[in-house]
Amino acid sequence: MKKQLLFIDFEFTMPEGKKNGIKFYPEIIEVGYISVIDDKITETFSSFVKPNLFPILTERCKRFLNISQDNVNQGISIQDLGKKLHEATVLHDTNVITWGNMDMKVLKHNCEAMKIDFPITGKFRDLSLEYKSFFGNQNQTGLWNALKEYGKDGTGKHHKALDDAKTTYHIYQLVEKDKQYMEKPEPAKIGDLVDFSKLLNKTSAI
């Protein structure tokens, strides 16, 4: 079974307020992920997703995410999203990597609301916490701000699910490279410090 890194990002519905006494909660309306195996991108996936309990997008949501009602109306169902995520993770030893913990929380909540099993098989890593711990930051840094701290720009457009997944992968590569650089080298051995062939030649000449 091969090891897989799966970088996932979701975009969610956003409220204007409460409706008819029912408290709004976020639903997934866009998914993007990147599968990385043996340091190579083996698959990318992007799709809009139909919301269920609050199917009509608020004006705030459409403005902030630059997404239309037609986009989500033509999206896949949460059930089909579950099948796709299960297929993407079940065949590999998978580490699912997100920026923050909200993506998996909302996915779990959406699955519970629709009475479907949580689809992802694998371990979970919150890269934003790893970033915070590695650099000793007091607060968690936003995805694209983290990349700016490296002097680089994000991929594509912020708050587009696949572009954010690609940006998460980019930060992962930078952080892993820094971790390797910061690792302490093994103590030098005497043989690394002394060229014994030259030493023997000198002693034989005496």
Catalytic positions:
11, 159
Q: 35 — alpha (psi -120 to 50), left (phi > 0) or beta?
A: beta
Interatomic CA distance for residues 146 and 153, integer angstroms: 10
How far is the CA of 54 from the CAs of 16, 31, 74, in angstroms? Answer: 12, 18, 15
Between helix 127-135 and helix 161-182 the angle, nearest 10°, is: 40
Amino acid in position 8: I
The one-letter amino acid code at 92 reads H
| Residue corresponding to tokens 């934003």 | 128
